[in-house]
């Protein structure tokens, strides 16, 4: 393992389904619903606008967790703060759903009788429209280039992993969309919307591997070493089960870590990845097979078991040490889940995998109601409602009835709602936003915060940039010493800029400008 | 690509053979399955309201990312 490797920091940007029942509108109610929701979320406006943000409206960062919320294509989008541990990611995902749920309740309290705002954490409306639950994984620029440009078997390895992972990452859905082959039930909501193997587009020609190259790691490339990149993973469904979520995130951390180290087994790649995706998604009995490039045939579970074995060998050589936290626990969970899938132990899997829970929920209903079938509107309604974030959503009812396995505690989730992760740059972002407050934050992006500092000797406020180019730096351990009780914004910024990793020669250009102290947000 | 798949409407059933589980484990799994289905019934009753057709009409979303 001579290659440079970096901690597998993860984030997520997730679009939610939002609409208002009881309102008749030919245009749909998503636009109104998303804006009402965002209006109820407290945060500090990013102050960034422009062509790149054309679809991205009203972004506000949360001084509590360091994440943010905004509107994307008439969906409320929630973006989690960067976390290092997949387990922390689970807590922050749940915490952000709590933020959205609280906003939804406040909106509903104001709506007239007969109207109700609904918010669903799924990825398809069942009517041919999909919206994303994107996972972001940090990797070196070298690894990014190898996956996207120079080593096609790396890309094929990643695609084969993602596609076969639908056996535990799918939320499940009724029917098929977008001219997909007919199906009563599918494991994956996104499968019908994957049109090619790799593509930069996220809205029409979606690829299993998305090649959008936005690192969010500094104002320009090459300023920090090793040069960093972000793998923007658009393939997965939103998952609500905690074990499904930790596996979705943790196994991706491990696979990306293996790619970064060159630990790639080309024999595990699929002959026809998109064909395999369509077939496996339509096979809840998990018996369908697909060809590997070498001609052998595998079920999705069998292929996943081979990825697991490869990851286990890598772990035995210390491959995940310092790169993927709690990798041993993740491997045990992964192994245990695949063994249950192999045995089709659906009675127990319904406690940890969304698609199994949903399938059993709907199958149970069909058993009790012979007048219904998979095409019945009430079945499709329930398919959608599974992911309702409201208290009466079936998933939450199952969880309250202790029918869903827990990994993180309510205290963990509550803390994630109030506090940023301590071991990523989200910690400094959140604390800087708290200290500056809305009035003195000029702009915020993932990798920088511009604040206005004051001086008793000048009528001008100076807009100064704190750069956060390295997601695994600017942690509490790195910067806690600057945020002492009673410290001024000016003194904290002085300290943070002095500790900045960006080259000093570029400092004046990168670190600030002057504005009148009573000037508005830039 | 060939498919050796049962039709979904055949329902998911607990495993037969394969892992050769102990009778106690089978009984435990069945109990867990029964408890899940009871909770699922309650969840469905709580969740469903209004007419499904109206819900599905209003549910339509703008395609996102």
**A389 and A433 belong to one structural domain:** no
Which structural domain, as residue segments, surrounds residue A232? 10-415
**A283 and A175 belong to one structural domain:** yes
Asked if the C-beta of B25 comes within 8 angstroms of chain A's C-beta atoms, the answer is: no
Last residue of a domain, one of A415, A434, A469: A415
Q: Is the model more confident about B31 or about A39?
A: A39
pLDDT of residue A179: 87
Last residue of a domain, one of A360, A393, A415: A415
Do residues A211 and A148 make contact, with C-beta atoms less than 8 angstroms apart?
yes
**What digits encode the pLDDT tens for the residues A450-502?**
999 998 888 889 999 999 999 999 999 999 999 999 999 999 999 999 888 67
**A400 and A446 belong to one structural domain:** no
How many cross-chain Cβ pairs, A to B, lie less than 8 Å apart? Answer: 202
pLDDT band of residue B49 (cuts 50, 70, 90) is confident
Binary contact (A344, B55; C-beta < 8 A): no
pLDDT of residue B15: 45
pLDDT of residue A506: 60
Which one of B9, B11, B30, B36 makes the best mutation probe of the A interface by having the most chain A beta carbons within 10 Å?
Answer: B36
Supply the Cα-derived Rg of chain B in whole angstroms: 19
Please report the ipTM that was assigned to this predicted complex.
0.84
A373/chain B closest Cα distance in angstroms: 9
Percent of chain B scored above 90 by pLDDT? 14
d(CA A276, CA A375): 25
Q: Is the model more confident about B54 or about A356?
A: A356
pLDDT of residue A307: 98
Last residue of a domain, one of A415, A441, A465: A415
**What digits encode the pLDDT tens for the residues A420-460?**
999 999 999 999 999 999 999 999 999 999 999 998 888 88
pLDDT band of residue A48 (cuts 50, 70, 90) is confident
d(CA A410, CA A470): 30
pTM for this prediction: 0.93
**A112 and A51 belong to one structural domain:** yes
pLDDT of residue A277: 98
**A289 and A394 belong to one structural domain:** yes
Residue A72 sits in a domain whose CATH number is 3.30.590
Cβ neighbours, 10 Å, residue B28: 14
Query: CA of A397: which chain B residue's CA is closest?
Result: B43
Which residues are CB-neighbours of A366 under 8 A, at least 6 positions away?
A: A372, A373, A374, A379, B9
pLDDT band of residue A54 (cuts 50, 70, 90) is low
**A248 and A338 belong to one structural domain:** yes
**A107 and A198 belong to one structural domain:** yes
Binary contact (B61, A367; C-beta < 8 A): no
Asked if the C-beta of B26 comes within 8 angstroms of chain A's C-beta atoms, the answer is: no
Percent of chain A scored above 70 by pLDDT? 94
Q: Look over chain A and give the mean of its residue pLDDT values, rounded to a whole number.
A: 94
Does position A405 have pLDDT exceeding 70, yes or no? yes
Do residues B12 and A284 make contact, with C-beta atoms less than 8 angstroms apart?
yes
* CB-facing half-sphere around the CA of A404: CA atoms within 13 A: 28
The dihedral over CA atoms of A338, A88, A155, A13, expressed in degrees to the nearest 10, equals 120
pLDDT of residue A219: 83
Residue reference for tokens 């947000």: A521
**A214 and A316 belong to one structural domain:** yes
> Is A412 annotated as catalytic?
no
Binary contact (B39, A403; C-beta < 8 A): yes
- Across A147-162, b (16+ Cβ under 10 Å) vs e yields bbeebebbbbbbbbbb
Number of domains in chain A: 2
pLDDT of residue B6: 38
Q: Phi and psi (nearest 5°) for A241?
A: -60, 135
**A389 and A450 belong to one structural domain:** no
pLDDT band of residue A52 (cuts 50, 70, 90) is low
Binary contact (A129, B35; C-beta < 8 A): no
**A263 and A284 belong to one structural domain:** yes
Q: What is the mean pLDDT of residues A399-405?
A: 95
**A390 and A435 belong to one structural domain:** no
């Amino acid at each position: 393992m001579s290659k440079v490797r970096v901690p597998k920091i993860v984030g997520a940007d997730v679009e939610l389904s939002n609409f208002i029942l009881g309102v008749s509108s030919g245009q749909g109610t998503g636009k109104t619903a998303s804006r009402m929701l965002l209006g109820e979320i407290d945060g500090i406006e990013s102050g960034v606008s422009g062509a790149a943000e054309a679809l991205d409206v009203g972004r506000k960062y949360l001084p509590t967790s360091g994440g943010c919320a905004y509107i994307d294509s008439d969906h409320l989008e929630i973006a989690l703060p960067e976390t290092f541990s997949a387990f922390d990611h689970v807590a922050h995902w749940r915490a952000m759903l709590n933020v959205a749920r609280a906003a939804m309740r406040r909106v509903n309290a104001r709506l007239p009788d007969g109207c109700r705002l609904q918010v669903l954490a799924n990825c398809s409306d069942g009517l041919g429209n999909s919206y994303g639950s994107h996972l972001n994984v940090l990797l070196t620029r070298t690894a990014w280039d190898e996956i996207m440009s120079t080593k096609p078997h790396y890309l094929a390895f990643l695609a084969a992993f993602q596609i076969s992972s639908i056996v535990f990452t799918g939320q499940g859905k009724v029917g098929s969309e977008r001219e997909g082959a007919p199906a009563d039930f599918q494991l994956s909501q996104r499968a019908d919307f994957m049109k090619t193997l790799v593509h930069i587009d996220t809205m029409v020609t979606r690829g299993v591997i998305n090649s959008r190259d936005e690192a969010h790691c500094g104002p320009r490339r090459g300023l920090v070493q090793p040069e960093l990149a972000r793998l923007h993973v658009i393939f997965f469904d939103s998952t609500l089960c905690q074990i499904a979520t930790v596996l979705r995130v943790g196994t991706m951390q491990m696979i990306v870590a293996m790619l970064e180290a060159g630990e790639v087994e080309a024999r595990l790649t699929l002959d026809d990845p998109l064909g395999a995706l369509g077939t496996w998604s339509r096979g809840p009995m998990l018996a369908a097979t697909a060809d590997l490039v070498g001609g052998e045939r595998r079920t999705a579970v069998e292929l996943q078991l081979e990825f697991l074995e490869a990851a286990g060998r890598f772990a035995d050589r210390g491959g995940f040490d310092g790169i993927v936290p709690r990798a041993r626990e993740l491997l045990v969970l992964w192994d245990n889940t695949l063994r249950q899938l192999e045995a089709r132990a659906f009675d127990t899997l319904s406690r940890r995998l969304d698609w199994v829970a949903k399938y059993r929920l709907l199958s149970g209903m069909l058993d009790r109601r012979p007048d219904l079938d998979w095409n019945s509107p009430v079945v499709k309604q329930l398919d959608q409602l599974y992911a309702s974030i409201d208290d009466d959503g079936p998933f939450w009812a199952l969880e309250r009835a202790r029918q869903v396995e827990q990994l993180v505690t309510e205290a963990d989730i509550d803390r994630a709602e109030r506090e940023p992760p301590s071991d990523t740059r989200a910690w400094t972002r959140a604390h800087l936003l708290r200290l500056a407050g809305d009035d003195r934050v000029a702009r915020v992006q993932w990798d920088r915060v511009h604040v206005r500092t004051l001086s008793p000797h000048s009528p001008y406020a100076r807009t100064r940039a704190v750069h956060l180019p390295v997601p695994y730096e600017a942690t509490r351990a790195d910067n806690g010493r600057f945020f002492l009780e009673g410290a001024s914004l000016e003194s904290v910024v002085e300290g943070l800029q002095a500790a900045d990793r960006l080259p000093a020669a570029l400092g004046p250009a990168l670190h600030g400008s002057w504005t009148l102290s009573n000037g508005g947000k830039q | 690509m060939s498919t050796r798949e049962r039709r979904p409407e055949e329902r998911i059933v607990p495993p037969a053979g394969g892992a050769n589980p102990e009778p106690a484990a089978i009984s435990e799994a069945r109990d867990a399955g029964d408890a899940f289905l009871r909770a699922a019934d309650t969840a469905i009753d709580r969740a469903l309201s209004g007419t499904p057709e109206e819900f599905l009409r209003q549910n339509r979303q703008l395609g996102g990312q």
